[in-house]
Amino acid sequence: MARPLKISLTRRYRFAASHRLHSPKFSEQENQRLYGKCSNPHGHGHNYVVEVTVSGPVDPSTGMIANLGDLDPFVGREVVDAFDYKNLNEEVVEFRGNVVPTTENVAREIFRRLRKFPKARVERVRIEETSKNSFEVEDEAVVS
Amino acid sequence: MVRSRGREENTRGAVEAHRNAMIRVTRRVEFSAAHFYHNPSFSAEENRRVFGKCNNPQGHGHNYVLEVTVAGEPDPDTGMVLDLKDLKDLLEKEVMERMDHRHLNYEVPELAGQIPTCENIAAVIWRLLEPRITKGQLDRVRLYESPDLFADCTAEVTVPRAGDLEGLEAGRRAWRDR
């Protein structure tokens, strides 16, 4: 017997940004111990890859869960334009205070922004900070 | 002898525990095909607006990458969830022969009346494969249209069906009583 299907669509986007892992809650020494070279005062950068997964019914008139004509500009505006070639600590308002721009926190912030996508459910965001590290956040896992 | 029976039981216990682990096996194939997006119930202007350059009636193409995942418990005799050669042959027959170097709008009857998007092609592939996988269970169909765009098809309900549990129990009994 055929089982009911769940279909999702995943799109990959890229941005390049600098950041520094440093918390004002800790002493200089503690920051150094905790974050190591990621805490160097002038910061460093990565080529981030963001995978955005949307799910929901496939519209029979278009064959699509979400039209990339809607998703691409939305992610472009909310994430790529806001993060690409930026200093995350200085130029993304959410990271100016006590929130350290670790990729965990960047993933949560991106997910918070993308959940507002009006055309489909954004169920997952996965970020590759480098080709060796990736971070995922899913629907229920985030409080905002 | 008590000692050797004890050892045998330990071995059996370890194998039993081992058997409970569900394994996912994935096979990847690539095919190249042409398509375009057009809904005959939309106006020409609407088709252009909704589908953009994908609406070009001359069509365009992609190198699709298909990943098919089957989940199950390895057969205790062969150590395999399923024979990958069987899966390879199945993908050749059901997917490659149907779709490779074809025009998805005109040459694949299963897609007739549908827009050949990544989502719809993945669903068609799922429906072609699911009833034909007899060892293990189809777990996921992932279809890449490009390295930056893919659709995933999975079963909505992931708990085993009653039949699977019966099969599992029968397998366990056969193993115990062998």
How large is the average pLDDT for residues B126-151?
A: 97
- What's residue A88's pLDDT? 97
What confidence tens digit (pLDDT) does each residue in A3-61 have? 889 999 999 999 999 999 999 999 999 999 999 999 999 999 999 999 999 999 999 99
What confidence tens digit (pLDDT) does each residue in B14-69 have? 555 555 689 999 999 999 999 999 999 999 999 999 999 999 999 999 999 999 99
CB–CB of A58/B120 below 8 Å? yes
CB atoms within 10 A of CB B122: 28
Burial class of residue A6 (count of CB atoms within 10 Å of its CB; 0-12, 13-18, 19+): middle
Task: Kindly provide the ipTM of the predicted complex, given to two decimals.
Answer: 0.88
Strands A133-138 and A121-130: antiparallel
> Of the listed B54, B67, B103, B110, which one is catalytic?
B54
Distance CA B154, CA B152 (A): 7
Q: What percent of chain B has pLDDT over 70?
A: 76
Q: Closest chain B residue to A51 measured between Cα atoms?
A: B148
What confidence tier does B1 reach under pLDDT thresholds 50, 70, 90?
very low
DSSP type of residue B82: S
Q: What's the start-to-end Cα distance of chain B, in Å?
A: 20
A3 touches chain B (CB under 8 A): yes
pTM value is: 0.83
CA distance A86 to chain B (A): 23
Whole-number Cα distances in Å, B85 to A6, B8, B32, B161: 27, 34, 22, 26
B101 catalytic, yes or no? yes
CB atoms within 10 A of CB A127: 23
Cβ-based contacts of A60 with chain B (< 8 Å)? 114
* Lowest-confidence region among A74-78, B122-126, B156-160: B156-160
Superfamily of domain B24-176: 6-pyruvoyl tetrahydropterin synthase/QueD (3.30.479.10)
